[in-house]
Structures are given as structure tokens and as C-alpha cells.
Homo-oligomer: A and B are copies of this chain.
């Protein structure tokens, strides 16, 4: 049977490709520190559960394709607090940030088109791009420069007649790089001058550790028809399993096209949208407490990594990942070995192997992305296990 050339170009997610191997390790009784997936362990706020349990309609109906009004209004209220005024027509409720990304890329990209993305990047961007028939053109960055990319020459060198959009994650996944006001304005200027969309994945907005509040691309005037912001409750409220996100833009034509996608899949889950709406009635201290906890976790992981000879990593400024180069030949081989041949007192660990975070062939082979989404004591132990594992792996 013949399959789509587009799906043939896609790969399994590096975060999830070892899921089956890990399941067998679980069955053997191993304890796995799962640092591969950005799945926070903080409790989902009570307001979510209360709304879920207080849903008392007899029929679980479709919701409007563009999103439940209650949810849209909650998102609008939240953005109002950031100084961004939106109307219901400027956003679409989506099944997670993932669907918002799929919608945006499907609306823009054609066979043979290109999208410029700083690498290392979230690997599902490549899968989503490949499925449209377009290609990722990477702006290569490196840890020595803090993974920064917002320099005119560097970005413009990647733009050609096939380019349709630039996509950035701010704060960065996997790099933790946070770009500042001037850098964001530069990216917007470049997009505007070249007639490109700037897709800003801002789902880690609240996870910034350097004191200043993150600027959203929606806060700048004069770029209204260029900006697409990707939003989600997953990380912000530790509610990944709700699958509730949003696509936000002031480009009416873009939204009209994306609405076709919305209607095609009928609607997002009804109860989850209602419960997600109630999350936005959060207390003032909620994000501060969360930020403090994640910052302590980041420092714990970095401290542990610094003790391991040969590990190269930078202190991330945002999100909740560390990208690190390990002193191993191949991070995927090392992952396989960790799940099938290694344990330290019954413990082992998982990370996301680095290769898939790069579009440039050969890059990232010995790099890994680790999510600091566990309690500090667990992260401390996980880094101990990693140190022992690296030593044993290289002494085989």
C-alpha cells in the first residue's frame, strides 16, 4: 500500500517514542524518573475539578466550533490583564495548543513553502510542518550564545522566496531562552518587512525566572495582521490532559481560514473547556508560587548536572526544560540502554533525545532535553542516577 510522502517524512515524537520500551521497564518493576515529557506534577487547581463535577446538563453536546463563549471570555479577560484587548472574533478555542499550531500551519503553508524556526525547536513543529508539504528552515543556535537567535543578519539569511512564516517559542522549548522586548520587536520588524507571519508559541508565558514580565507579541502595535499567538492551559495551570488551547490573531482572513478547520473537526471537548474557563479565576499569588517552585527545581537540576564531568548546559531563563550535551556517543542509544540494561537500586530515567530538536542533519546527537517537572528531591536523585548511568554506560 502506498502512503503519503508527507507522513513518510515525519517521525515519532522523541518525547514519546520510547513509551512502549518504558512500559516494559515499568512491568519489570523499575522506577523511571520521567523527564522526557513536560508534564507538570503540580496539582491542577480546584476550580477545574469543581466546574467539572458541577456540570449538570443531561446531554453532552458539541460546543461551538470556534470555542465555548465562557472559555473565550475567560481567555479575553486574562489577556486584558496583560494589557492586550481582544474580541471574541480574534480567537479560536482549540484542542490544546497543539491543534492551534496545526491550524495555523495548515492555513499558511503549501507544498514547497518554508517556515523559519530557530533550532533546537519543539520537534512536533517539524511533524506539523511536514504534514503541510512545507519544510523547516532552521536558524541554528548554540548553548554558548544562550541559544539566542534574534539578530537581523542571522534571521534574514534564512528567508527566501519560499518563506511564509517565522515561528518562535518564547520562553523557549527546549532551550529556556527568553527573548526581550527589543529582540521581539526585531523579529516583528523582520516579519513585517518580508510580508511573513510571526507565529509565537507563548504557552510557557508564566515560566520566566529573570524578574521581568514576558512581552507577548500581541502587545506591539503596527503588526496586527502578522502575529499569531499560540496559547494553552496545559502548562499554565498544570492541566495538560484537558486539551484546551487557543489561536489568537488580529488577522481576520487568517481566522476565517482557521475557522474552516475548526468546523471540520466540529468542536473541542465541551466539559474541559468549561472547566478550563474556571481556571482563569486564579488567585494573585498563583503564578508567583509556581514560578518560585520551578526556579528551585531548575537550580536543583542544574546543580546536579554541573557535578557530572563532561556535561555542557546553560542555565535556562524560562519554561521548564534544560537542554544539555551529555558525554555519550548517542543519546538515543543511551536512552534504550537506560530502559533495558541499567538501573541503580531500581531507578532509571527518561529524557527526550536531542536529534529531533534539530532540522540540521547530524546536530544534537549527544544532546538531551530534560523537563524539571518533578519535586526537588526526585530531581536530585534523578541527576545522581544520570551521573552513575553515564559512568557505567561509557565503561561498558
Contact = CB atoms under 8 A, between A and B. Distances in A.
Interface of A: 1-8, 10-13, 15-17, 19, 37, 39-44, 48-49, 52-53, 55, 58-65, 95-96, 98-99, 102, 106-111, 124, 127-128, 131-133, 164, 195, 197, 225-226, 238-243, 251, 253-254, 257, 259-261, 263-272
Given A238-B59, A242-B60, A266-B98, A260 B3 contact: no
A13 B59 contact: no
A interface SS class: loop
A93 to B, nearest CB: 12
B260 A243 contact: no
Contacts of A269: 95, 241-243, 269, 272
Contacts of A11: 260
A12 B260 contact: yes
Contacts of A65: 13, 16, 19
Given A7-B260, A263-B13, A272-B271, A44 B62 contact: no
Contacts of A111: 111, 133
A48 B44 CA distance: 21
B253 A3 contact: yes
Given A12-B263, A16-B263, A44-B58, 19 more contacts: A2-B108, A3-B253, A7-B261, A8-B257, A10-B257, A13-B263, A37-B62, A39-B59, A39-B62, A41-B59, A43-B58, A52-B55, A60-B238, A60-B239, A60-B240, A127-B261, A241-B267, A243-B266, A243-B270
A242 to B, nearest CB: 6
A110 B8 CA distance: 11
9 contacts: A1-B226, A5-B110, A16-B263, A39-B61, A43-B59, A60-B239, A133-B133, A243-B270, A271-B271
Nearest to A251: B1
Contact of A253 (B1, B44, B58, B257): B1
A254 B197 contact: no
A55 B197 CA distance: 41
B164 A2 contact: yes
Contacts of A15: 263
B61 A241 contact: yes
Contacts of A7: 106-107, 257, 260-261
Contacts of A52: 52-53, 55, 271
Contacts of A60: 44, 48, 238-242
Contacts of A164: 2
A42 B58 CA distance: 8
Given A107-B4, A238-B60, A265 B132 contact: no
B272 A1 contact: no
Given A109-B4, A253-B3, A254-B1, A124 B44 contact: no
A19 B64 contact: yes
A281 to B, nearest CB: 17
Contacts of A55: 49, 52
Contact of A63 (B2, B5, B48, B241): B241
Contacts of A3: 107-108, 253-254, 257
A253 B55 CA distance: 41
B40 A259 contact: no
A254 B271 CA distance: 32
Contacts of A263: 12-13, 15-17, 124, 127
A195 B107 contact: no
